[in-house]
Every structure is written in structure tokens, then in C-alpha cells.
Amino acid sequence: MTVVDFPEIRRTNPGKIGVLNLQGGVVEHLDHLERLSIQGIPVKKPEELKELAGLIIPGGESTCLSRLINIFGLDEAIKEEYKRGMKLWGTCAGAILLARHVVGEEAHLGLIDIEIKRNSFGSQLDSFACEALVPEVASEPLPLTFIRAPKILRVGEGVKILLAMDDYIAAAESDGVLVTIFHPELTECLAFHRYFARKCSLAAKEEVPPLDPTWNMLSWTRYARIAS
């Protein structure tokens, strides 16, 4: 994949990636960025988008996120910054928000030409985990966690499929937008965050392996308030 060059951005690029901080898996993404020594900042206001190299729209609930994006006046601001060159990555609900076509409903931000269908695997109880090789992202199979995930049904012109499985597409990208219907931030996988950082023309700590060796079975609960 050719990374589009935005020399004017590199000049002013302070090297930060924002994580939309309205609802959903915000801290988990910030934590993964930190593990790669990338400065991640939670974003709630339009002015906080200024000069970001990239923005992650996390998983959560797309209807809720979409309403909050409008309430917080972020809709136009995200589109403006995208035009300026800010890269976007949507995980799960984030991918739904970025899709140009959403089956049975109006599109939200509509910044990548994909068709996506919400809740395609069934209920929350039909959530699952598996592994797959995504050659553009890492040379070893990566863990994938699907939580009441959508399916990407097709991609349009200018969109490359990064991972196709059974009857659906699980990861795709255009020059400016990456979409994954699974959640790398809930696993030991740092490879997608590094891949996105590279897309944003930022250098992630190279010596960090694609899979965090310190991860254990309980790491996903690291931000849960579990009484000890």
C-alpha cells in the first residue's frame, strides 16, 4: 500500500494520534498507543482535532456515538480535518460510522466507500475470537476479537481489502481511512496500532513485537473496576 505523502502535514505534525473520547473503548486504544511510545490524546472537542496526524474512532455503539458526534459538533470538524490530511481508523462501531453505505440506515461520516451491515453475527452472545494472517500488517497470525460485530459486505473503488474471511471483509483501507470490524485494542496485538501509526507517517517504537509478550488472560480487564 502506498502511503500518501502530505509534506505540509509532516512539517507541522506534532506526532499525535487522537482517540474519540465519547463512548466505547477509548482507554484501551490510548494504552496500545502508549505501548508503542506514540502520544495518544483523548478527543472530545472540535479544536482538539487540530493538527492530529490521525484519529481512532473506537468500538462501542454506533447509534450512540453518532448522536454524540453531532451533539459535540464533531461531524463537520472530523470531515474538515480528514480533508486536511488527518488519517482515520474505525474499529467496529467506528467502522460503521466511517462507512459510506450502512445497510438499512443513513450513513454517518461516510468517508470510506464500503458497505457495512450492523450486528451481522447475531447478538452480543455470538461474539467470538479467532486468529488470521493479515500480510500487510504482520508476518504472523494475529488475534481477532469480534464483539457484536458488523460485516463489511463490499468495498468500492480506491479501497483495498486487507482481510477477507468466509462471506465478509474484516479489514480494509483507503488512502485516508482504515476500518477493522474487530478489536485489536482488546488483545495483545499491537500490530494494527503500529500499522495505523505508519499510515499517519509516525514512527512507532520498532523494537516492540507485534504481540505484547506481557499480555495474559486477564489483561483485557486492566481498566475494569473489579474489587480485589
Q: Is 54 in the site for ligand GLN (CB under 6 A)?
A: no
Burial of residue 85 (number of CB atoms within 10 Å: 0-12, 13-18, 19+): buried
Closest-CA residue to 109 (of 84, 90, 128, 134): 90
- Cβ atoms within 10 Å of 119's Cβ, excluding its own: 14
The verdict on whether 185 is a catalytic residue reads yes
CA distance 99 to 85: 18
Q: Is 61 in the site for ligand GLN (CB under 6 A)?
A: yes
Which one of the listed residues 183, 188, 189, 193 is annotated catalytic? 183
SS (H, E, C) 12-41: HCCCEEEEECCCCCHHHHHHHHHHCCCEEE
Binding to ligand GLN by CB under 6 A, coded x per residue (else -) over 128-167, reads -------------------xx-x-----------------
Which one of the listed residues 173, 185, 188, 189 is annotated catalytic? 185
To the nearest whole angstrom, how small is the minimum distance from the Cβ of residue 93 to ligand GLN? 3
Of residues 95-124, which lie at the interface with ligand GLN (CB under 6 A)? Answer: 96, 118-119
To the nearest whole angstrom, how small is the minimum distance from the Cβ of residue 29 to ligand GLN? 12
CB 118 within 8 Å of CB 102 = yes
Residues lying near ligand GLN in the complex (CB under 6 A) are found at: 59-62, 92-93, 96, 118-119, 147-148, 150
User: Which residues are annotated as catalytic?
Assistant: 92, 183, 185
